[in-house]
Every structure is written in C-alpha cells, then in structure tokens.
Structure 1
Amino acid sequence: MSRRTLVVGLAMATTITGLTVPGAAAEQATVKFPSSNFPLGARSAPTKTMTSVTSGIDLYDVKAGSSTDGYTVTVLLPNGRDAGTREAAETTLAAVEAAGEVAGIQRLERPQVADAPAQELFMVRVGLWSFKQRAKADKAAAKLKKAGLKVKVDYLGDDGLKTTGPWHVKVLTVDARTFRGSYAASLGTSVAKRETVSSMAKRGGAVAAVNGGFFNIHTAKQLRGEPVGASVVAGRLLSEAVPGRSAIVLRGRTARITELTTTITAVSQDGAKHPIAGVNRAAAADELVLYTEEYGAKTPAVDGTDVVIDANGRVEAVRTPGAAVPKGKRVLHGGGEAAMWLNEHLWEGWTVKVDTKVRDLRKNRNLQLTPDLHVVSGGVGLVRNGRTAITARRDGHDSVNMILRRHPRTLVGTTRNGSLIVATIDGRKPGITVGANFVEAAQFMRWLGATQAINLDGGGSTAMVVKGKVVNQPSDGGERAVGDALLVLPR
C-alpha cells in the first residue's frame, strides 16, 4: 500500500440529509415499539425486553449489532486536532515518515446537516489492529510518542463511519392516551451546583428521569451546574435561553419541542428600562444579571452594585456585591454601565418590575409562566415534522466531534399524538456499545416514531433512572453530576 493512500479497511462517511427511513414508525398514530429492523448498521432484528413501569409508561431494553471494529493510531495534526486540511495531514505524514514509520492519510467527510454544509477533512493514521490486539496498538502509539509525535489510540467504532455496532439502548415510552402523571424539570438543590439524576428523581418523587441539557463547564468550578440555555422550573425562569436553541416545553402531561428566546427587562418606577442579560450566571463587564434564591451561590464579588428586591418588586437594599441571595428575594447585579443604571434608577424603597418573556418561536407567541410550566433546554435539534433536521451550527455543536463521532446520547422526542419517547444510547464501551452520531441519533428517533426530536447532553452525562435505579450504563462507570433533569412524575 502506498504511504499516501487511505489506511486499508477504514471506510468513509457519507452525506445524509433529509433521510427517509424505510418503514419508519413516524406514521404510527400512537407510541408503539417498531416491528421493523434496527435502523443502524446492518439493520438486523434487535433483541428487546419490555417492562411496564406504570400506567402508560413502558421501558425497553434493546440490543442490536455485533462487534467487528478494531483499533488504529491517530497522529494529531499541528493544530492538536485529529482531523484537518489535506496540507496539515501531509505535513504530519512527513513527520511520521521522518520518524521511520509508515502511515496513511484517511479522507473523511463530516456530513451535511440542516444548517451547515458537508466538510472534507483528513486524518493521519498508523496501523490497523483487531479488537483483541489493543495491546499492539498501544505499543505502536508508545513508539510514536517516543519519537516526539502526539498520538492517540482510536477505537474505530467511535469514528462515526461505517460500523456493525453493537448498540445497547434504553427506551422509555410515555403514552399520551393512558399516562396520568405529569412532567417537570429539576435543577437539583441549586442552579450553581450539579447533582445526579437519581438524586433529583428521588427528591422530585419521579417514577423516571433522564439528564437534561448541557451545563456550563467554562465558568468558575462552583458555578458549573448552570444550564446552557433556557430553564424554567414551576413557572420561574432560572436560566436565560441561547436564542433559538432547541428545548422541550413541559406543561402538565403535555410535552412539545420548539425553539425559544428570552427577553428580560428591568423597569424602574421612574420608567427607566435596562435589559437583563442573564439569569443565575456569571456576569460579564457592564451586564445586568438577575439572581434568584435558587442560584445557590454568592453574587460576583466585583466592583459594582447589588440591588435586593422582594417578591413585590420593592427595593429592600442597595449593597456591595459578593453576598448570597436572601430567601424569597431576588438580586439585580450590575458592574460598570449597569451598576451606574442601578444607582441612578433603583433607590431603596422604590419599585422595579422584572418583565420576563419566554417566546416559543414555532408558535410565535410567549409562554405563560404559570406554576405548571417547565422547560429543559436541548443541545441540538434532530427531527422536525418527521424529517431529519440537524441544527448543529445554530445549537453550538458544529464540529466533527459532535456531528460525526459516536458518543453516548440522551434523546427526547414526541410523536404525532403527543406521546413522549426518551432514549439513552450507551457508548464509549468498545465491543459492548458504540453510541451514535447526530445522523444516527436522528434516524433512531424517527424509527421509534418521533416526529419531533432533540439531543440533550450526552457523553458521561447520559443517565436514565427508573424507579430509583440507573438502568443504562453511564460511560464514566457511574452517574455523573449534571446541571438539570427531565422528570416523569406519577401524578
């Protein structure tokens, strides 16, 4: 084999848009597990067992596919990534050859999605070993590292290219016709802190639960429970929307998927107005941020101003930042220009209205923030009106790692009659379960009958809890503390 040809046995990805799944369950009028073959890999008949959880709720344990993937060594490109331009791959290939090793350049294509074109990329890889030869792959990687190259051992099932699996999936179906409970969101003990799904499910009295959306890992460690996107719990907006990002709106026993924006404005009694940039998160320079008692942390200890307001909007105190939010109160915090506005327009004893609007972009109207309203923000839209519609760029996940590579996934969908489908696809377990990429996740949810579907947080966060027990196999080896959860309540 030429040193500049593709590594033998490594298949290429294909572009998939608007995919029609043969025999798709999207035509079903009710939530019913499909009788057609598993939609991924060789499309073989899956093995499944069903457990009735309670009236209207069933849990399926599904297995499909077989393990045929092996290992290779990927040499990182000059930018530190495993895939990039052909020029970068050629440069890296030359470095491998200079070290006396034989490598190949592999072309791959990140699939086209609804809001981003396909992208041609190239990787440099050394060797190909069977599943049982992992030790040989590790030895080759160690030799390359000793030569000064940055490398990693890759299991080919994680690539997102052609695979036979296997897959291990949990599917929870909630039938709108017979379910008599309700849905809710939970942020655990506070917005700032993370908590396991099982803990939130126990506290909320949930019969079933899954992890919610992504949480902010790019903020201070003590604040990393903060959801990245809209969060509403019992009618209270606890985290602002990322404009236009997918979310699931829960009210009573109804669930619908849409996109949201939020607009929050402080209106002083003298008529002055100022936009509130965020809710329960770290504040940037000149931002006005609202903190509620659910925050669970102190306001930023920076130069600026805190204004404490009671439930009626009366200003109780103007204070130095860096203290907790008093129980039953809210705090408007501002630095720079926002602090100047607070000092000029919110005097002690004055009143202020916090005008909060959460807009449903599909219905083009505001949601009523009543106590039965809950919102869990998603990460990426997958299915819209029965067709694959992956909104990776809009939802902030336009990358090879997120679109093409396989990871554990937590997925939520609704059927034509309003039933709910929740699924966890376990991954990162070579030989046991490979996970899914976004295209495969969309295919899978359509196969289950979802006409609308979104991706929630995944990876080590993926967890499904039923009757107090974690029923899937989290890739970290145990439950990870997460930002929020979607709860299925018995009443």
Structure 2
Amino acid sequence: MPRRLIAGLAALSLLATAAPAPANADSVSSRLPTASFPLGQSGAVTQKQKAVAAGIDLFTVVHGKPTDGYTVSLLIKGKDYGTQAEAEAAAETARGAGFEAGVQQFTRPGVADYPEGSGYTARIGLWTLKERSKAEKVVKQLKDANIKAKVDYLGDDGLQTTGPWNLRVLTVDPRAFRGSYHASIGANVAKRETPSSMAKRVGAIAAVNGGFFNIHTAKNLRGEPVGISVVDGRLLSEAVVGRSALILKGRTARITEVKSTTTATSSDGEKSTINGVNRMAGPDELVLYTEEYGAKTPADDGAEAVLDDKGQVLELRPAGGKVPRGTRVLHGTGIMADWVWSHAWEKWSLKVTTKVTDLRTGKGIPLTPETSIIGGGVGLVRNGHERITAKADGHANVNMILRRHPRTMAGVTKSGKLILATVDGRKPGVTVGASMVEAAQLMLWLGARQAINLDGGGSSAMVVKGKVVNHPSDGAERGVGDALLILP
C-alpha cells in the first residue's frame, strides 16, 4: 500500500497546507502565474491559454498528481463525523460485528467569522485508488450487519493531498473588452435552467452559474435564488442581510455585502415592509410577486392586490392566481392579509419602493437598467487578504468549510479585471475540487483583491461560445437558478 495513503489517514488531524499566495502583478488578462501554485506540492503548473474575444482569455490549469485512496466511514446520525463519544460508539459497534474500526480526530479550520473546531470520524480500512470495489464490499458487509456506512475518497476530506486540480479560468480586461456583464434568471424565477441555455438565448460570449437556489421549496419553484437577485435593475429576490454579492454594471464588477429593503405605501398613508420577493410566503408576511416569477402565487388563504406598473390596484382577490404580464402581485398572509384587505382597495394605489444598500459604504446601489446583482455563497477575499465569511453567508459547517467540492468563484483585481474560475471535483484520481480555504488561496493566486464563492458542486459550470468547457460533476450541465453572462 502506498506510503502516502497510509500517512494520509494517520495524519487525519492535520490541516491542508499551502504555499503563501504570491502577490500577482494584476496581469491576468494576458497570463496567469506559472509557479507557486498555492495547493499541494510545489512545482510548475500545466497551463493552456486561448483567446476568446477582445479582452477575454480562457485558461486551463492542471496541477498535482493522485496519491489518495479510499476508506469506509461509519455514519453517525446520517453524517460521516460526530463527537468523540459518538465516533467511539460507532467504532465499538463495528468491532462487535467483527470489523477493525478506528477513530480519528480532524480539525475544521477557523475562518473570519467562525472559530476553529474539531470532529471525529470512525473508519475502517485503507485501499488504493484502484481498489474501490474492496471498500464497497465492506460497506455491503456492514449493511448486512445493520451498520450504516459509506465509501469515502480521502482526497475529499479537505486535509493534506497532492491533488490533482483541474481549473478553468476566464479573465476579462475591461480596457480591451467592449461588451457588458449581466445576470440572468433564465425563462423565469421559478424554473431552473442551464447556464448554456441562458447564454444561447441572448448570444452571450461566456457564462458561469450564479448563486445558490432553493432546493427546500416546492419542486416546481426550485429556481428561486437564495439571497439577492437583481436583473437589469429589477429586484427579483430579496437579500439576506449582510451576505456577499457581486455587483455588475456595464463592464464593471465589484464585490460587497448588501441588504435590500422593499416597502408598500397605501393611498391612505399606511406603510408596511414587504418581507420577500418571488418566494413562498411565511406566516404574517407580505411577499411581492413580479411577472418574472413564472408560477401562480400560493393559494394559502391569504389576500392579494394586483398592481399595474404605476402601482394602481387593478384587483383585490383571494390568494392564488397568475401574475399577469405588466403587473405585480402583493400577497399577504395572516395579519398581513388583513393589511391587504384594509389598504389595497381597487383603484387605490400602492407605492412600492425598493432600495439596495452597500453595507461597506452605507450608500444605496442605483438600480438602473444596466445593474445586475448576483448573491454569493461565501465571501473569500477582501482587500487582498483571505476573509472567509462562512457564518454570515450561511455555510458554517464541516461539509462546506473543510470538505473539497467543485466550486465556481468570481473575483475582481485592483484595476477592475474580472476573474471567473471553476475548479472541478468529485472525480477521484482526476481532480479533487477545493475547500473554502483553498478556494480563497486560488483566487489570491489568480490576483483577486476581492472574491466570492458562487454555487458549486454539480452546479459548477463554465460556458464559452456555447460549449461547456469544464467537467460538471453530475456528468452533465445542471439547471440552476441564475447565471452570470458576458455579452458582446
């Protein structure tokens, strides 16, 4: 058995280490660094470059070699880790069934807004990359003994690895590029769509998947962005206060944290906060549905006011109906249904005002027709330094911080160049993906002064001139909630 594989499990408590990311001379539009790759063992990077259009370059970056193999992890309350007592109990159960199980501690690194933590895994055996079938046989034997387990590839752990890594990097220099950046929700908010389909519809030069979408709502509504979405100046999904976002206008891009505020003011002067935009309503909420929603409003015993583009109430109706073209529907539940019945009489007006605020500057972001905003999954880099905001962005856990996954990242250099990168993963022996810390290190290596993580996993996709140029981990491109498009 390779020494690296044995050392990999024995050193399970060690964090992944990487060379310090060198300051890049902001030259990403013409070249990438060729040495000092920040992950794995030191050595030269294999790199190919292709000119896509004026100011746009596509790079393929490959580094590292496979030395990790497989183990079997015992499941603890459905997860592959738990407390020390839980891991010891799981291992003891497996030993009682005749299996040689051990317990290892691992360390989840601390990030900017979430402290370091520890966890424990109970595992059985070590096998090389070519011996997965042996690990699968053990999982079957454990199942026969009523013990839940799974095969784990050690390269996914987020600890020390030699890779390999396979990246696609798209760089856009606004000094030479003459097009513009846009966000797209595809056909509508409710429906998921592939980035290549969104790109084809408008003739985009390139595209990447956008932010996370809601997989915990009704199946026909799962295109709904989780967090802010602004398309051509229209707020289509409200912000989660303080989470990271990518602001696009013309051929400029910047990263900050945002909040959004939407209010309704009736003809009688009564004012109320609108809690959400284009999503399912909770108890005692006002939710605004725009014509981009693409589905009927929920029939939840609430009340609705159908508004024209000037805010005049065209119809006051029970909840559950279409959003006619050129209208918006204000939907109230519980006590807010009473508010709608009382303050949205037909032929009255409801003035709906929306404001998006940059929390770094405290200033409003003008929602012009040229403005788009995509919500990021996690902040990675701020002012040229690693700053991972896992807790603020809703991803403070072992799976998202420590484990390696396919990732899509966006960054901006000091001079305003846009960097879009995908790192493929979940392909043992081919490419291992990246942890959050590794994602930040990669973006620093590429020269980003500001950077965020977008949606990842099977959603990670980069499209250039109609072709998916990375290798999505699902085996095919996945439908997503929104995408970033680069238009000519």
TM-score by length of 1: 0.96
SS of structure 2 residue aligned to 1:382: strand
* Structure 1 Cα separation of the partners of residues 43 and 144 of structure 2: 44
Which residue among 81, 93, 97 is the counterpart of 1:99? 97
Check if 1:349 corresponds to 2:347: yes
1:83 maps to what in 2?
A: 81
Which residue among 296, 313, 319 is the counterpart of 1:321? 319
Q: What letter corresponds to residue 47 of structure 2 in structure 1?
A: K
Which residue among 300, 308, 323 is the counterpart of 2:298? 300
Check if 1:274 corresponds to 2:272: yes
* Structure 1 Cα separation of the partners of residues 19 and 69 of structure 2: 30
Superposition pairs for residues 144-293 of structure 1, below 5 Å?
Answer: 144-293=142-291
1:426 maps to what in 2?
A: 424
SS of structure 2 residue aligned to 1:383: strand
Q: Deviations over 1:327-357 (max 9, x none)?
A: 0000000111111011111110011111111
Superposition pairs for residues 307-456 of structure 1, below 5 Å?
Answer: 307-456=305-454
Contact 2:21/2:444 (<8 A) preserved:
no
* Structure 2 Cα separation of the partners of residues 367 and 20 of structure 1: 38
SS of structure 1 residue aligned to 2:124: strand
**Shift in alpha-carbon separation, 1:20–1:259, aligned structure 2, 3 A:** farther
* Structure 1 Cα separation of the partners of residues 47 and 290 of structure 2: 45
Q: What letter corresponds to residue 75 of structure 2 in structure 1?
A: L
- Please state how far the C-alpha of 1:22 moved relative to its aligned partner: 4.5
Contact 1:183/1:253 (<8 A) preserved:
yes
* Structure 2 Cα separation of the partners of residues 352 and 403 of structure 1: 44
**Shift in alpha-carbon separation, 1:35–1:46, aligned structure 2, 3 A:** closer
More deviation, 282-291/80-89: 80-89
SS of structure 2 residue aligned to 1:295: coil
* Structure 2 Cα separation of the partners of residues 8 and 468 of structure 1: 44
Superposition pairs for residues 116-131 of structure 1, below 5 Å?
Answer: 116-131=114-129
Contact 1:307/1:317 (<8 A) preserved:
yes
SS of structure 2 residue aligned to 1:366: coil
- Please state how far the C-alpha of 1:221 moved relative to its aligned partner: 0.5
1:3 maps to what in 2?
A: none
Q: What letter corresponds to residue 179 of structure 1 in structure 2?
A: F
- Please state how far the C-alpha of 1:37 moved relative to its aligned partner: 2.6
Check if 1:73 corresponds to 2:72: yes
SS of structure 1 residue aligned to 2:391: coil
Contact 1:16/1:439 (<8 A) preserved:
no
Aligned-pair Cα RMSD in Å: 1.5
- Please state how far the C-alpha of 1:7 moved relative to its aligned partner: 7.7
Q: What letter corresponds to residue 200 of structure 1 in structure 2?
A: M
Check if 1:40 corresponds to 2:33: no
Contact 2:19/2:37 (<8 A) preserved:
no
Q: Deviations over 1:89-139 (max 9, x none)?
A: 111111011111111111100110000111111000000001111111111
Contact 1:173/1:420 (<8 A) preserved:
yes
1:12 maps to what in 2?
A: 12
- Please state how far the C-alpha of 1:36 moved relative to its aligned partner: 2.4
Q: Deviations over 1:8-38 (max 9, x none)?
A: 6413355689x9824231x536644113232
**Shift in alpha-carbon separation, 1:349–1:465, aligned structure 2, 3 A:** same
Q: Deviations over 1:464-489 (max 9, x none)?
A: 00000000000000000000000011
1:60 maps to what in 2?
A: 59
TM-score by length of 2: 0.97
**Shift in alpha-carbon separation, 1:378–1:22, aligned structure 2, 3 A:** closer
* Structure 2 Cα separation of the partners of residues 71 and 257 of structure 1: 39
* Structure 2 Cα separation of the partners of residues 298 and 327 of structure 1: 12
Q: Deviations over 1:315-335 (max 9, x none)?
A: 111012211100000000011
More deviation, 58-67/134-143: 134-143
* Structure 1 Cα separation of the partners of residues 403 and 226 of structure 2: 22
* Structure 1 Cα separation of the partners of residues 87 and 196 of structure 2: 45
Contact 2:28/2:446 (<8 A) preserved:
no
* Structure 2 Cα separation of the partners of residues 66 and 339 of structure 1: 60
SS of structure 2 residue aligned to 1:328: coil
Q: What letter corresponds to residue 301 of structure 1 in structure 2?
A: A
* Structure 2 Cα separation of the partners of residues 177 and 8 of structure 1: 49
* Structure 1 Cα separation of the partners of residues 140 and 7 of structure 2: 22
* Structure 1 Cα separation of the partners of residues 6 and 123 of structure 2: 7
SS of structure 1 residue aligned to 2:292: helix
Q: Deviations over 1:414-468 (max 9, x none)?
A: 0000000000000001111110000000000000000100000000000000000
* Structure 1 Cα separation of the partners of residues 487 and 168 of structure 2: 19
Q: What letter corresponds to residue 50 of structure 1 in structure 2?
A: Q
Aligned residue pairs total: 482
Q: Deviations over 1:388-430 (max 9, x none)?
A: 1110011010111100110000000000000000000000011
Contact 1:260/1:359 (<8 A) preserved:
yes
* Structure 1 Cα separation of the partners of residues 21 and 458 of structure 2: 32
Which residue among 467, 472, 475 is the counterpart of 2:473? 475
Q: Deviations over 1:193-248 (max 9, x none)?
A: 00000000011221000000000001000100000010000100000001111010
Structure 2 unaligned runs (5+)?
none
**Shift in alpha-carbon separation, 1:54–1:66, aligned structure 2, 3 A:** same
